């Protein structure tokens, strides 16, 4: 594998600074889950179940706020859209260490709603800065940087929480979150091409519908991928706990990330593209063998294998979403992508957890990979059927030699046959086929970074959602 494409990418104007800024700006989000968990089970004196509710509350806030924040970026520009996030986040994290449990739940929702949209902004900017033929490499590099962030940031958060205090750790989260927002406002990466204009509203004053059936299919793929990753999180922790190897969770998760990094780099260097649903199906299939692991060493090999399609699948999903919508609505669709990932994570943890309670950790891996694989295959089958229907519709509408549509039969004749000379038509040609309504053309590249990772330092805590 040649790394030359990455060298050419980083020489493009604005790309290297964006990669560096995004790496730093993602750190606070990557450490928030573990710090909140340690604060709830430590100074507040509650169990991990209640700590998980705080993480879930913030997740709900993210799911609700992401599309709204994306629309604000599209409408107002980056700096004006980020200002409310900086103000609200600074207030929330300033008071969070002094709140009781119930108030902390409310604060977590507010923090999620106003979370600085680092991930979506970076994707939008890469789509502007990088030519289409290099976007596969760009998104793959972005995915690799994200994996590294999620390996390092939770460790930093735990170090501060355990060696200093959870109050100091929460304060660090707040300071770094506000700092990330200010850095993005200062750097102000482009989210729209020069001269890009907002499309006018329709005759009724409303904007055209964004969530078409095609986009919903890709968003469903994002939810399926998130379900697989969350289920794998839970399975890793459960398996190591069952073997009394809780201390190995950190490096086991790191191996999983290494697999994703390798797979992302290879995918970004290739010229061939795969459909997002095909990559999610591959992700599910690669996760199932972890169910056969009977020792820690076997699980280590299995998680590396399971990680290989991770970055590639997520990148293809988000690149397809970016290319399927007009430039002036990319922020909004990236927000919906975050919501889809949140839905998948919210479903994956309880579903796989219930299977683990019944069938053990091995059943959890099988359920996570199997459900994602089945959903992806069903999606591919639906798309294939839609394409066949679209091809049939085009064939039926195509005129025959006599100018009559091929599917039309002769009507009753009551007299001399009328002239079959086709009349000129001023109607525009059909814009798209039914197949195109179902799924957008897959992007040539992409990377997104919303994989789900638990903290690599505490086996009992809830998984962290990107």
Give the angle 99-163-54 at the CA atoms, nearest 5°. 35
Domain that holds residue 347: 4-189+211-381+440-465
Answer yes or no: is 314 within a domain: yes
**Is residue 416 one of the residues assigned to a domain?**
no
pLDDT for res 449: 39
Q: What is the pLDDT of residue 400?
A: 56
CA dihedral 360, 362, 368, 370 (to 10 degrees): -120
pLDDT of residue 319: 75
Q: What is the pLDDT of residue 442?
A: 38
Query: Is 103 contained in some domain?
Result: yes
HSE on the CB side for 237, CA within 13 Å?
21
Q: Which residue has the tokens 């039309």?
A: 408
Report yes or no on 420 lying in a domain: no
Task: Give pLDDT, residue 322.
Answer: 75
Evaluated on CA atoms 358, 54, 183, 68, the torsion sign reads positive
Closest CA to 225 of 290, 283, 278: 283
Token digits for 203?
């005759």
Structure tokens at 289: 């063998």
Asked if the structure places residue 54 within a domain, the reply is yes
> What's the total number of domains in the chain?
1
Q: What is the pLDDT of residue 23?
A: 87
Q: Is residue 34 part of a domain?
A: yes
* Residue-level pLDDT at 421: 46
Phi, psi dihedrals of residue 461, rounded to the nearest 5°: -85, 165
Q: Is residue 271 part of a domain?
A: yes
Residue 257's pLDDT is what? 86
349 found inside a domain: yes
* Positions of the chain with pLDDT under 70: 1, 48, 194-214, 393-466
The CA–CA distances, whole Å, from 450 to 207, 311, 318, 408 equal: 28, 9, 10, 50
The token duo for 174 is 């707040």
Pick from 76, 187, 171: nearest CA to 122:
187
Q: What is the CATH number of the domain that holds 277?
A: 1.20.1250.20
The pTM (predicted TM-score) of the whole model is 0.68
């Amino acid at each position: 594998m040649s790394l030359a494409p990455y060298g050419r990418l980083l020489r493009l104007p604005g790309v290297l600074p964006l990669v560096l800024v995004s790496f730093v700006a993602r750190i606070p989000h990557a450490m928030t889950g573990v710090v909140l968990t340690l604060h709830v089970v430590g100074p507040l004196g509650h169990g991990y179940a209640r700590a998980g509710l705080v993480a879930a509350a913030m997740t709900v806030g993210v799911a609700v706020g992401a599309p709204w924040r994306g629309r604000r970026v599209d409408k107002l520009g980056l700096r004006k859209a980020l200002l409310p996030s900086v103000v609200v986040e600074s207030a929330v994290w300033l008071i969070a260490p002094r709140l009781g449990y119930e108030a902390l739940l409310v604060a977590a929702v507010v923090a999620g709603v106003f979370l600085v949209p680092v991930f979506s902004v970076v994707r939008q900017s890469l789509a502007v800065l990088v030519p289409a033929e290099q976007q596969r490499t760009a998104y793959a590099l972005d995915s690799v940087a994200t994996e590294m962030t999620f390996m390092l940031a939770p460790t930093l958060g735990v170090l501060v929480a355990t060696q200093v205090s959870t109050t100091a750790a929460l304060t660090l989260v707040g300071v770094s979150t506000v700092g990330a927002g200010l850095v993005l406002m200062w750097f102000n990466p482009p989210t729209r091409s020069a001269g890009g204009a907002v499309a006018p509203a329709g005759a009724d004053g409303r904007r055209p519908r964004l969530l078409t059936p095609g986009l919903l299919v890709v968003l469903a793929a994002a939810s399926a991928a998130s379900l697989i990753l969350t289920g794998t999180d839970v399975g890793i922790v459960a398996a190591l706990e069952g073997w009394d190897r809780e201390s190995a969770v950190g490096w086991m998760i790191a191996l999983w990330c290494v697999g994703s990094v390798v797979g992302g780099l290879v995918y970004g260097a290739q010229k061939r593209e795969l459909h997002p649903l095909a990559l999610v199906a591959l992700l599910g299939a690669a996760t199932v063998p972890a169910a056969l692991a009977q020792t820690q060493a076997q699980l280590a090999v299995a998680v590396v294998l399971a990680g290989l399609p991770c970055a590639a699948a997520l990148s293809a999903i988000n690149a397809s979403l970016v290319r399927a919508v007009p430039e002036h609505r990319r922020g909004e669709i990236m927000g919906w992508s975050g919501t889809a990932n949140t839905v998948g994570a919210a479903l994956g943890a309880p579903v796989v957890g219930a299977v683990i309670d019944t069938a053990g950790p091995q059943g959890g891996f099988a359920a996570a990979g199997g459900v994602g694989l089945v959903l992806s295959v069903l999606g591919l089958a639906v798309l294939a059927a839609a394409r066949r229907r679209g091809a049939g519709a085009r064939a039926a509408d195509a005129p025959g030699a006599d100018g009559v549509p091929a599917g039309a039969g002769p009507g009753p004749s009551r007299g001399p046959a009328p002239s079959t000379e086709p009349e000129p038509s001023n109607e525009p040609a059909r814009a798209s086929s039914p197949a195109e309504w179902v799924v957008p053309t897959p992007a040539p590249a992409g990377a997104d970074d919303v994989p789900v990772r638990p903290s690599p330092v505490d086996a009992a805590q809830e998984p962290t959602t990107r």
